[in-house]
């Protein structure tokens, strides 16, 4: 009994095309995932920077804040309903402007 051994080594053209197709699909999925993660990270960094700016403005009492076009709204009552009872919290709405960005917050006034 003679056994013939095939001495050709390597991949056929079809196997190579299929391998490239599989690798391409994996790379596209990885790139889409990376882009999504990058966008979420950028938004989180922007949010943190804005949050720090607002905290700084509030801590400084609004000093250096441009209030010309955004005056505070005073004597505002915020009513909260809980458990069948209404609670009213008095305060004012303060508007802070920094680098062209505006945020309005409710400030409690005891």
In 3-state terms, what secondary structure has residue 51?
helix
Phi and psi (nearest 5°) for 11?
Answer: -105, 150
Q: Give tens-digit pLDDT for 55-92.
A: 776 676 655 555 555 666 777 787 888 888 888 888 88
- Where residue 27 falls among pLDDT bands split at 50, 70, 90? very high
Residue 96: CB atoms within 10 Å: 20
Mean pLDDT value across the chain: 78
- Looking at residue 62, its pLDDT comes to 57
- Looking at residue 7, its pLDDT comes to 61
The mean pLDDT of 31-38, rounded to a whole number, is: 91
- For the cut 70, the answer to whether the pLDDT of residue 2 exceeds it is no
């Amino acid at each position: 009994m003679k056994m013939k051994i095939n001495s050709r080594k390597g991949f056929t053209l079809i196997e190579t095309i299929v391998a490239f197709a599989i690798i391409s699909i994996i790379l596209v999925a990885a790139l889409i995932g990376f882009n999504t993660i990058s966008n979420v990270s950028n938004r989180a960094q922007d949010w943190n920077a804005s949050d720090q700016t607002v905290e700084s403005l509030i801590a400084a009492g609004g000093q250096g804040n441009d209030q010309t076009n955004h005056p505070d709204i005073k004597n505002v009552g915020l009513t909260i309903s809980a458990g069948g009872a209404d609670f009213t919290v008095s305060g004012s709405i303060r508007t802070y402007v920094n680098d062209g960005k505006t945020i309005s917050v409710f400030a409690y006034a005891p």
